[in-house]
Amino acid sequence: MKINPIWLVEDSINDIELTITALEESNLANRLIVIRDGGEALERLKTLGYPDGEPFPAVILLDIKMPKVDGIGVLRAIKSDPRLKNLPVVVLTSSREGPDVNTCYELGANAYVVKPMEFGDFFDALKILGKFWAILNEWPEPKMSKG
């Protein structure tokens, strides 16, 4: 059985460390790939699924406020690409701003989760997200473009 990785597109070292710990405690077999900015995420998306490229992620946990390209730009790129649009993207951010929530859903985000302020709540939320998207969720295999 092929186990797809989980992508964490996040620039905060504290949130990265907390996510790693929470997902490890969930005993997920998925490898976690940490991507520190939106520009790097866009570059890596180009190789997904190709013979010499990376496997498609089980889920992308995407922060909004990042350097180079923000999370909304990354989400827009994913959901506008016919090859990638079915990838599950969970926006995981500290922004409760209505326009951010609306824009993310309009672009096709699968979920919008505001990072809880309390350490324990954030930790628990990450464990639940990891288990749901990496184990329970079924999604269609992305189609490779011809030519």
- The pair phi, psi for residue 48, each rounded to 5°, is -60, 130
pLDDT tens digits, one per residue of 51-82: 777 889 989 999 999 989 999 999 999 999 99
Please report, in angstroms and rounded to a whole number, the separation of the first and last CA atoms in the chain.
Answer: 28
- The pair phi, psi for residue 130, each rounded to 5°, is -60, -50
* Residue whose pair of structure tokens reads 């011809």 in the numeric block: 146
pLDDT tens digits, one per residue of 111-145: 998 886 776 777 777 777 777 666 656 666 655 55
Q: Is the pTM of this model over 0.95?
A: no
Q: Please say if the pLDDT value at position 147 is more than 50.
A: no
Q: Please say if the pLDDT value at position 146 is more than 80.
A: no
* Residue whose pair of structure tokens reads 């990042």 in the numeric block: 66
Q: Which domains does the chain have, with CATH numbers?
A: 6-136 (3.40.50.2300)
Average pLDDT along the chain:
85
